[in-house]
Structure formats: C-alpha cells, structure tokens
Structure 1
C-alpha cells in the first residue's frame, strides 16, 4: 500500500462515486477501479459496499478512511516542511558531473551558486554518464551533467553546454606542429577512446566523427577516464578526440589542435528526476544558464 493508493481510496470514499472521484484525480475511471481492487487484494479485505448507490464503505473501509486521512495530512505537512527548509539558506545539493563537464564550466558555476547560496552544502561527484543516471534513480544525487543519450522518459533534461571537438596528439607527433588538423591525415594513427561501458553515447559520436572525416585508425585503445585517455596519448599510444575544454588538463607531452573537418558539437545535458525535485535545482540551472549566456 502506497500513498497514491491511499489518496485514490480516500477521494473515492469521500465522493462515493467512481466517475466523480476519477475526474478529481485526473485518471480514467477503469484505472481507478483497478487500483482499488489491487488495494483490496493487498489488504485481503473488501473496502467498498458496491451493492448500494452511492457506494458504501465496509467497516474495514471506514477504518482505512480514518487512518488514510491522517496519513495524507502528515504527508502534506511533511512536504510543506521540507519545502520550507529547502527555501532557507541551509541545505544540501549533490551534483554529478563527468570529468569533462567539470573542466567545462563547473568552477564558474559553483562560484556563482556559492555566492547566491553561501550556506548550502554542495557535494560534487565525478561519475560516468550511465552511472549518473543510475545514481539519479537511486536518489544518490540530485542533478547530473551528462553526455547523451538520456533515454529514460521519467527524467527531465536540458541542454546546458556545447563544445567543439579538438584532437589531442603527443607532442612528437608529426601533425603536432600544425595549427589545425584534418582527421583523414591521422589515418595510420591509433585512436584512444572512451570504453563503451564508460560513455557509450560519447564513444559512438567520436567514431561517427572519425568515419565521416575519413579517419581510419590502425587500432582502438579503450580508456575509462579523460585523464587516462590523455596519459595514453602523451605516452605515444595514439590520438584522441576530446572537447575543447580538455586542453585545460595539463598532461605532459600532450598538445591540442582544432580539427578542420565539420563535426557536431559535444553536448552536455543537465538531467534530474522531476518526481524527486530537490531544493536549489532550479537556482543551479538558472546559474548555469547565466554562465552559458555570458560565455557565449
């Protein structure tokens, strides 16, 4: 028995009419009837006397109506108190980011949010995009900043940042002396790329960009993190396609060059669970938008 079922039953018990109760609850009448039958099956009792018009309540139904009203009142009170606490300066916001998201804009966003809400405790967790989506489902983080795709329709998403692709090369690579690079010129060079488990959407985008530009790597080397990718590049194990912001990572013997080929931008999305909308998410998104507009 959950709060939704209790709300359905209390509304029906007060209206004594399936059609009117369904209209108040904004659900179809058959769906309401099914929910009540499921509730009766769970409790193993009959709650309604369906032989009368309007419908009546059994003794068990009367007991549940009394307790259900109290439960709903407590839930409403808990929601109100939670929102009141969340509107104060204190509170906590747990944010998930990919490694490259942290490089792109996390510092200015956190600085601006900190000035707005100085007493809010902010926790930052670096997680791969799939791991962030799982963490959102579990309630371990309040909001994440991920690479596409986000295919869970229960989640709300918003595009917050785009970045062009650059190529990361070892400093002694022949093309490292160029100001910009065509990817086809890298044919014969190994490609260092995110593993499919770590960033499936990002990996597919990188491979699409390479194929479209005529770059055929000799081998593909998987890596789990951006720092690992760039260390492999610096060690001479290949090149890597990275967001422009990756050049903020100062890895020895790695240089970054813009690519001359057309490629779609690297997208970053904010994602959160609307059913678990934590305090301050709206303010954080407002800060992100203002930072993005100013930088754009």
Structure 2
C-alpha cells in the first residue's frame, strides 16, 4: 500500500513538473524525492512520469492518479484536524438530559453558550425526569444531566446550577385568585395537584415540608410527574398546584399565579435547586469543555 509521503511527493512533482522544484517545495533533497516516486510506481505497477533530460510529463496513469491523490491528501488533513478537534473538545457529540422545567430555563442558555463556544459539537437532547437522568449517567447513555438534587449514585457528581422558588398555580376562576402572597394554610382543603413520589420525589417532599412547616395538611387529588401535566390539571379547573416560578413563562393562559407568603419556616424551605450532573469517569473531552462553560456564567446570568 502506498503511503501519504509518496502521494505528497507525486502531487508536488505533478504540479511542478520539475523534480528540483518539487524537492525544494517539500523541503527535501532530490534523491529521496525520486526514491518516493519510484516506490509509488512500483506499488502501483505503472509509470507515472515520462522523464527526459529536458522535461517531465505525466503519463496517462499519472493523470488518472492526480485527482484521487489530491483528494486523499485533503481527506488526510481533514481527518487529522477532526481528530485533534475531538481530542480538545472542539468537536464530537454530547448527550444532555433535562427536566421539563430545565428545558424552559437552564437549557436554552446552555445551548446558546455551546453554539457560541463549541459550534463543532453536536448536542443530543433528551427530556427525562431526574431519576431517569441518574440512571443514564450511571449507564453512560447520558453525558450531562440538568436535574433536581436526588440521592447520588456511585461515580456521579453534581453541583448547583440554578435556584428558583415555588409559586401557587391556580385556575382562573379559583376562589383564591387575586393579588399578593398567600400563606400555605390558605391552601388547606383545596384540591392539590401533587408530584409523583416515584418520578418527582424532590418536589413531592418539598411540597409536604412546606405544608408541614405551616401546620397544614394537603388535600391531594391528582398526581403527575411533570410540571406541564400539573399545569394542565390546573387549567382544566381540577385544583391548584405548586410549581417553580420559572414555569410561569410557559404556563397555559387559563392559569394564574400567586406567591407563597414568606413566613419564617416557608422562607427557609421555599428553595428549588437545579443541578448539573455528570459521571466522573466520562472521558469525552467535549463534555469536560461544556462543563467548564457552565462553571463561568455568561454576562446575562447570575451564579448560584
């Protein structure tokens, strides 16, 4: 099989039609250049040049080889650059998983940063609840997760990314509709759309703690694992729910919001954290570089 140096030598001679000029172009002496051409002709079993003391010309075989040789050399250069870009995190692919709320808040900002600073990286997006994200991080099917704080898994590390608060989502015709903040006790007895214990344990436990801090008891009538589903229940007039404040940006038109009154216990508890998580054994350079971007907030972002 011929080598790249043989093709480089051939192309230089073919373009210069002069062995001395081609050798100078390749920063080598003429004898080793001639040797590379001879080896290539032997490998291909065909003369590539007609040589006389006065001129050098391509044979039919040489003219046939020239465009393919150029293409092979171009591909070799491109491959080298591609490999280097992947090795430095400038190219490759990263699978990002996110919760429904993160898809409306943290994810768009992350995508903008990646487009600006890692344009050669392909991003594969998957909407998953936090527990499924953790499973994916352990198995290696997810590179980066935007999830709620849950029980850690071996090898998975995380850090805070964003902070939010819960607000009350009400049907437009609710007796609690109005302005101003409401105490948690005002929600007692109202039909509550609640988070699933299996897939949304973080929010489920947070809501229970808020009610307990006020000495109130929730009247749970429906369960769902995702905020959009809970908001759909509210829009249908089935009751109220507590959702992150960032959900107001994509809530249905028939849903109104009120703040929770910041009593002593509620003020301390009403904090919704979003974390970025990854497997510490992940060796994808693009993942590491994307995580570095997340460590430095953009000008329009505030760190946690």
1:282 equivalenced with 2:302 (yes/no): no
CA contact (8 A) 2:91 2:286 kept: no
Gaps of 5+ in 2: 1-81
Structure 1 residue 265: Cα displacement: 0.8
Residue 220 of structure 2 corresponds to which residue in structure 1? 219
Residue 146 of structure 1 corresponds to which residue in structure 2? 147
CA contact (8 A) 1:83 1:279 kept: no
Matches within 5 A, 1:1-296: 85-87=86-88, 89-261=90-262, 262=267, 263-291=269-297, 294-296=300-302
State the Cα deviation string for residues 117-161 of structure 1 (Å, max 9, x = none): 112111111000010011112211101111112322421111111
Structure 1 residue 257: Cα displacement: 1.7
Distance 1:234 1:118, change over 3 A: same
SS at match of 1:276: coil
**Richer in helix (by share):** 1
Residue 54 of structure 1 corresponds to which residue in structure 2? none
Residue 4 of structure 1 corresponds to which residue in structure 2? none
CA distance in 2: counterparts of 1:293 and 1:197, whole angstroms: 37
CA distance in 1: counterparts of 2:100 and 2:144, whole angstroms: 15
CA distance in 2: counterparts of 1:237 and 1:124, whole angstroms: 32
Bigger radius of gyration, 1 or 2? 2
Residue 7 of structure 1 corresponds to which residue in structure 2? none
SS at match of 1:214: coil
CA distance in 2: counterparts of 1:286 and 1:206, whole angstroms: 33
Structure 1 residue 188: Cα displacement: 1.3
CA distance in 1: counterparts of 2:84 and 2:134, whole angstroms: 24
Structure 1 residue 116: Cα displacement: 0.4
TM-score by length of 2: 0.66
Runs of at least 4 residues off by over 6 Å: 81-84
TM-score by length of 1: 0.68
CA distance in 2: counterparts of 1:150 and 1:86, whole angstroms: 32
Structure 1 residue 293: Cα displacement: 7.4
Q: Which moved more, 1:127-136 or 1:189-198?
A: 189-198
Gaps of 5+ in 1: 1-80
Distance 1:235 1:210, change over 3 A: same
Structure 1 residue 169: Cα displacement: 0.8
Structure 1 residue 238: Cα displacement: 1.6
CA root-mean-square deviation: 2.1
CA distance in 1: counterparts of 2:155 and 2:126, whole angstroms: 22
State the Cα deviation string for residues 35-82 of structure 1 (Å, max 9, x = none): xxxxxxxxxxxxxxxxxxxxxxxxxxxxxxxxxxxxxxxxxxxxxx98
Structure 1 residue 99: Cα displacement: 0.6
SS at match of 1:176: coil
CA distance in 2: counterparts of 1:147 and 1:292, whole angstroms: 22
